[in-house]
């Protein structure tokens, strides 16, 4: 059995705990805690490496985690997170939308985009995986940002059970097993993202569409109207499908 790569104990309360918590999550989150909650704040976290991915088993008092545009630009983190709520509730705010989540639900979060996460007292399992580890370059993950897979649904329960099992077994993984577990999790979360945006079962974009899109790009390369949105509307494809067309070309 191996111990966590980072461990924050929850035996102390107040400002010292808050300072350690903020320092530990600084690459990913700005943490806001109400002044009246400061004396009683407590948090506990165990973080394990899964190759170049990580998994965190956390519990904390009420707080807000935020990724502002400034933090996104400053840290340059190109990772995707999935968080399972074991206890407690949260509200995700991203791109003007609010999405609630509760025990058993799994949130998909693209850390290259701004968001905030307001939490009650909670326990959670969070995996953070580099985008490059996902199949097809993570197609669909950007569009699924801020969505929640309800634990009451069959597929949501599947993802929830996987993350629970990952959290229970990660202390026993060898380094090689940890890397394989991260890869398997990336495949499952990629499918979860496609489920969230309604692309499961959608047929692949045929080759003639690729040729037509490529021709349009060549013809309009100097136009200010040449955008991803313009191409999606013109050819009737989703953003992620368009990205998949050009993924083999880098």
Average pLDDT value over all residues in the chain? 83
**SS3 assignment, position 26:** coil
Q: How confident is the model at residue 59 (pLDDT cuts 50, 70, 90)?
A: very high
Q: Per-residue pLDDT for 79 more than 70? A: yes
Q: Which residues contact 112 (CB under 8 A, 6 or more apart)?
A: 72, 77, 78, 79, 131, 142
Domain boundaries, the chain: 6-196, 207-249
pLDDT value for 154 = 92
* Distance separating alpha carbons of residues 169 and 1, to the nearest angstrom: 10
On the CB side of 212, CA atoms within 13 Å amount to 12
* Distance separating alpha carbons of residues 52 and 157, to the nearest angstrom: 26
Buried b (16+ CB within 10 A) or exposed e, 72-97: beebebebbbbbbbbebebebbbeee
pLDDT value for 72 = 86
The DSSP H or E segment spanning 157 is: helix 154-169
Percent of the chain at pLDDT > 70 equals 82
pLDDT tens column, 227-242: 888 777 777 667 766 6
pLDDT value for 141 = 84
pLDDT value for 204 = 47
pLDDT value for 78 = 86
Mean local confidence (pLDDT), 136-147: 82
* Distance separating alpha carbons of residues 122 and 58, to the nearest angstrom: 8
Q: Quick one: how far is CA 216 from the chain centroid?
A: 33
pLDDT value for 6 = 55
Percent of the chain at pLDDT > 90 equals 44
**SS3 assignment, position 2:** coil
* Distance separating alpha carbons of residues 1 and 174, to the nearest angstrom: 9
CA distances from 23 to 74, 145, 213, 224 (A): 16, 25, 46, 43
**What's the pTM?**
0.75
Q: How confident is the model at residue 202 (pLDDT cuts 50, 70, 90)?
A: very low
Q: How confident is the model at residue 249 (pLDDT cuts 50, 70, 90)?
A: low
Please name every residue paired with 43 in a beta bridge, in sequence order, or none if there are none: 60
**SS3 assignment, position 80:** strand
Q: Per-residue pLDDT for 203 more than 50? A: no
**Which CATH code for domain 6-196?**
2.60.120.10
Are the CB atoms for 187 and 195 separated by under 8 Å? no
pLDDT tens column, 62-72: 999 999 888 88
Torsion sign, CA atoms 73, 74, 78, 82: negative
Are the CB atoms for 149 and 202 separated by under 8 Å? no
Rounded to 5 degrees, what are φ and ψ at 13? -125, 160
Are the CB atoms for 131 and 79 separated by under 8 Å? yes
pLDDT value for 232 = 75
pLDDT value for 87 = 96
């Amino acid at each position: 059995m191996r111990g966590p790569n980072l461990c924050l104990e929850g035996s102390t309360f107040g400002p010292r705990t808050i300072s350690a918590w903020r320092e530990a999550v600084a690459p990913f989150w700005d943490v806001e805690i109400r002044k009246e909650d400061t004396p009683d704040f407590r948090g506990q976290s165990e973080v394990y490496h899964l190759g170049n991915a990580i998994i965190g088993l956390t519990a904390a008092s009420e707080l807000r985690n935020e990724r502002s545009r400034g933090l996104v630009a400053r840290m340059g983190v190109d990772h995707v997170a999935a968080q399972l709520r074991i206890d407690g509730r949260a509200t995700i705010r991203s791109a003007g939308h609010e999405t609630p989540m509760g025990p058993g639900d799994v949130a998909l979060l693209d850390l290259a985009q701004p968001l905030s996460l307001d939490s009650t007292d909670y326990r959670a399992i969070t995996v953070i995986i580099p985008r490059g580890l996902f199949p097809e370059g993570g197609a669909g993950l950007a569009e699924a940002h801020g969505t929640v897979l309800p634990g009451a649904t069959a597929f949501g329960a599947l993802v929830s059970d996987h993350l629970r099992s990952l959290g229970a077994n990660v202390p026993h993984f060898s380094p090689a097993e940890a890397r394989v577990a991260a890869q398997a999790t990336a495949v499952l979360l990629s499918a979860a993202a496609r489920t969230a945006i309604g692309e499961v079962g959608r047929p692949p974009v045929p080759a003639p569409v690729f040729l037509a899109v490529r021709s349009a790009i060549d013809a309009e390369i100097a136009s200010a109207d040449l955008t991803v949105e313009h191409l999606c509307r013109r050819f009737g494809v989703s953003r992620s499908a368009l990205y998949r067309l050009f993924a083999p070309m880098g």
